[in-house]
Amino acid sequence: MTNPSLLILPGDGIGPEVMAEVRKVIDWFGANGGPVFDVSEDLVGGCAYDAHGTPLHDDTMARAQEVDAVLLGAVGGPKYDSLDFSLKPERGLLRLRKEMDLYANLRPAQCFDALADFSSLKTEVVSGLDIMIVRELTSGVYFGEPRGIIEEGNERVGVNTQRYTESEIDRVARSAFELAMRRGKRLCSMEKANVMESGVLWREVVTQVGKDYPEVELSHMYADAGAMQLTRWPKQFDVIVTDNLFGDLLSDLAAMLTGSLGMLPSASLGAPMANGRPKALYEPVHGSAPDIAGQGKANPIACILSFAMALRYSFDRGEDAARVERAVETVLADGLRTADLLGEEGKAPVSTSEMGDAIVAALAKG
């Protein structure tokens, strides 16, 4: 029986630093009776452009299609700002999502009790928060045609097109309903059916899919009202499903409810492969943070929790995923903080590697 395969793409900025801590967790499992992975590593983003003149080499894309899961760090940095749009580091990530057809982006927003005070909202509003936003990832306004900057009369016009087919809405809705079935059996769909025809279609299709999931309580909300409700009382939600643009905005908003982008993982899932596993890419929500790269200040928790999501959704290792999550919770409860989480005056932050070491030590204790 072959080991499951994992392609690691550390990327740019703090990506290699946080990914090094994930490798410690992977190695710990392999040495202690847990899953053993066939791990390979490659380039994406600015580092791929530096090496190959493209943000994602064709050979890397082919490897990503063949492995059981891809784990990515972060891409981008100011040194690449002057590149043509087609060569920017972010295009490598978008190509991975598009060509792997990763249409369902899962972004959890969980507030650990030890960090409830770090949220900008009152502790009682966020304490115990555990919601999941399912964002459609391969269509909508980010991919619709026509698009571009055109000349119209004596001025330029920027054009982007919001476009969704029934099948695109159907498949991401089913992913969200399936997830809701494994959680609290509540799903809220968010769009702008009051002003957008794509929103009208979205609501109609999600409602129709809901008939196949009678156990799930389905509600609908306009996305702008959803943003307001997320900041008013986020614990009213369990699973939220929404389109690409609104999902981008709402998931970042929900991220800050927890106190730090450095805490939040994500999963991007596609259709099942021949082995029954979905094509999948896992990555932290945070960016490459070039201002702190190489200084040992980065928080590796989001990347480590992204690996936990891979254990759960790609490798059917839910207990191992929960063990990683408990280790993170233990370390935070013990008061360890990287610089982004430092709230107590006079308390020195731990480094990126020290946080990783502490999480591995907590894993060892069970």
344 pLDDT higher than 60: no
Beta strands per DSSP E along 173-243: 186-191, 217-222, 239-242
**Coil, helix or strand at residue 257:** helix
Element (H, E) at 154: none
d(CA 13, CA 73): 9
Of 358, 340, 359, the C-alpha closest to 349 is 340
106 pLDDT higher than 60: yes
Residue 343's pLDDT is 57
Residue 342's pLDDT is 77
Confidence of residue 140 (pLDDT cuts 50, 70, 90): very high
pTM over 0.85: yes
217 pLDDT higher than 60: yes
| Candidate from 12-16, 108-112, 130-134, 195-199 with smallest mean pLDDT | 108-112
* Residues placed in the known binding site for Mg(2+): 224, 248, 252
| Candidate from 27-31, 251-255, 290-294, 313-317 with smallest mean pLDDT | 251-255
Contact 222, 110 (CB under 8 A): no
Q: Which CATH architecture has domain 1-112+259-366?
A: 3-Layer(aba) Sandwich (3.40)
Contact 245, 140 (CB under 8 A): yes
Give residue for tokens 């927003």: 109
**In this prediction, what percent of the chain has a pLDDT beyond 90?**
84
Confidence of residue 121 (pLDDT cuts 50, 70, 90): confident
Q: Give me the mean pLDDT over the 228-245 stretch.
A: 97
User: Can you state the percent helix, strand and coil of the chain, rounding each to 5?
Assistant: 45, 20, 30
252 pLDDT higher than 90: no
Confidence of residue 233 (pLDDT cuts 50, 70, 90): very high
Active site residues: 142, 192, 224, 248, 252
Beta strands per DSSP E along the chain: 5-11, 38-41, 69-74, 104-110, 130-136, 144-152, 155-161, 186-191, 217-222, 239-242, 265-272, 278-284
Domain map of the chain by residue range?
A: 1-112+259-366
Residue 26's pLDDT is 98
Cβ partners under 8 Å of residue 22, min gap 6: 8, 71, 300, 303, 304, 306, 307, 356
d(CA 68, CA 298): 27
| Candidate from 81-85, 87-91, 253-257, 317-321 with smallest mean pLDDT | 253-257
And the tokens for 258?
């927890």
